[in-house]
Amino acid sequence: MKKSDIHKIIREEFVNILREETMITETFQDPIARMLAKDRSLNNSWLKFFEAMSRSFDIAWDKVPKGAFQEVQPGSPLTKKGLAIYYIKGDKKNPYARTDRYGYTSQSTLFGPAVLGATINNKIAYAEGRGGSRMTGKTRYSEPVGKNVRGTMQVKKLKELADVVYVFDLDSYRGGTTALKSARAQLKLGKDKFTDHRAWKKANLDRYEDILRSRVGSRDQIDRMVAEIVKTANQAVSDAVTGTLKQDRYGNIQTTVAGKEVELKDVTRSMSSALETYRRYIDMENQEDGAPDDGYSSRYATERKKEYALELKRYHQGFKIGKLKTY
């Protein structure tokens, strides 16, 4: 490779770095967040802390207003809930530095200003980087957020060492906005996709009413069960999209059905399948009522109707106990 090519690559990398830093700091309305975004302990080649927080807690940082971060003393009770970032404003001696058997002491000075570490709900915050930063628990691939100086990664030690703590109320801002969550949810109903939970609910009700209008006979227990399924599914979708965002360890959006956490996509899939089964049930019932007197056609429609009724009862039971049938 020519020397000129190497210089070109280096220049391009510097441009990329400057673009990243500009993009990060310009999206923050809060001045403390802008300051922290420049800290190399939080924003480096291994970890993009704010990106990780956004990915794990669905925080729309550009929507977070000025004043969302507060500066408090390390002993403040506000550090016990939400995000707390422990910060030193200058160099300080590290009382927890270790001396090896040869008399060499490493990291005897904590160089500042810098982020020493962070906690989420008063527990040390860990993150995984490279290939997509995200917040996580303590795993073989994760590291504590911040300088991660050996011997200091305990909450009581961070409180002792930090000059100030920057706290952020996660519960107030996690989940981004309703529009963002709706876009991520990708709600499905049959072959149709929706990014607006209200449109999904309306389409759900419209489809149910269309099926109901197509029946010839009177209402029965099956109609009531399907109505309850529709109502429960609509509520679960609303809770997922308009409430605090909940995700499992794989990033799947969660909601609550019968007091149990389930995947949102399972709710929409089960709802869609139940309505399709209901449509087939009504078709068989109409065929049963209009079948010729040859015996066979009527028996076939009756048996198929019973099978679909049993399927609907299983879907209904799934929504009732929070164990959804998705096939």
Closest CA to 78 of 2, 168, 195: 168
Q: What is the pLDDT of residue 188?
A: 58
Closest CA to 256 of 201, 323, 193: 323
The number of beta carbons lying within 10 Å of the beta carbon of residue 178 is 14
Both 305 and 156 in one domain: the answer is no
Q: Is residue 313 part of a domain?
A: yes
pLDDT class of 41 with cuts at 50, 70, 90: confident
Both 165 and 306 in one domain: the answer is no
Q: Is residue 326 part of a domain?
A: no
In the chain, what percentage of residues exceed pLDDT 90? 29
Both 108 and 192 in one domain: the answer is no
Ranked by mean pLDDT, the top range of 4-13, 35-44, 265-274 is 265-274
Enumerate the H helices of the chain as residue ranges: 3-26, 31-37, 49-57, 155-161, 170-173, 178-185, 197-213, 221-242, 264-289, 296-321
Q: Is residue 269 part of a domain?
A: yes
Both 184 and 73 in one domain: the answer is no
Both 71 and 162 in one domain: the answer is yes
Terminus-to-terminus CA distance in the chain, angstroms? 57
Q: Is residue 308 part of a domain?
A: yes
CA angle 105, 109, 110 (to 5 degrees): 130
Both 58 and 189 in one domain: the answer is no
- Do residues 255 and 169 lie in contact, with contact meaning Cβ atoms separated by under 8 Å? no
- Tell me: the pLDDT tens digits for 66-118? 888 999 999 999 999 999 999 999 999 999 988 877 777 778 899 989 999 99
Q: How far apart are CA 242 and CA 182, in angstroms?
A: 9
Both 39 and 161 in one domain: the answer is yes
Q: Is residue 117 part of a domain?
A: yes
- Tell me: the pLDDT tens digits for 283-299? 888 888 776 666 677 78
Last residue of a domain, one of 173, 189, 216: 173
Both 267 and 309 in one domain: the answer is yes
Last residue of a domain, one of 173, 205, 227: 173
Both 167 and 305 in one domain: the answer is no
Q: Is 76 exposed, middle or buried (0-12, 13-18, 19+ CB in 10 A)?
A: middle
Q: How far apart are CA 277 and CA 325, in angstroms?
A: 12
What size, in residues, is the chain? 327
Q: Give the chain's domain count.
A: 2
Q: Which residues pair with 260 in a beta bridge?
A: 257
Q: What is the pTM of this model?
A: 0.50
Q: Is residue 231 part of a domain?
A: yes
Give the neighbor-by-neighbor strand order of the sheet with 143-144: 134-136, 126-128, 143-144
- Do residues 217 and 229 lie in contact, with contact meaning Cβ atoms separated by under 8 Å? no
Q: Is residue 18 part of a domain?
A: yes
Q: Is residue 327 part of a domain?
A: no
Domain of 294, in residue numbers = 178-321
Structure-model confidence comparison of residues 304 and 174, the more confident one? 304
Last residue of a domain, one of 173, 195, 216: 173
**Mean pLDDT (whole number) for 10-38:** 62
Both 207 and 149 in one domain: the answer is no
Both 20 and 116 in one domain: the answer is yes
Both 154 and 188 in one domain: the answer is no
Q: Which residue has the tokens 């879907």?
A: 315
Structure-model confidence comparison of residues 42 and 24, the more confident one? 42
- Tell me: the pLDDT tens digits for 181-220? 555 555 655 556 665 667 777 777 777 777 766 655 555 7
Ranked by mean pLDDT, the top range of 48-62, 142-156, 199-213 is 142-156
Q: What is the pLDDT of residue 156?
A: 95
Q: Which helix (H) or strand (E) holds 103?
A: none
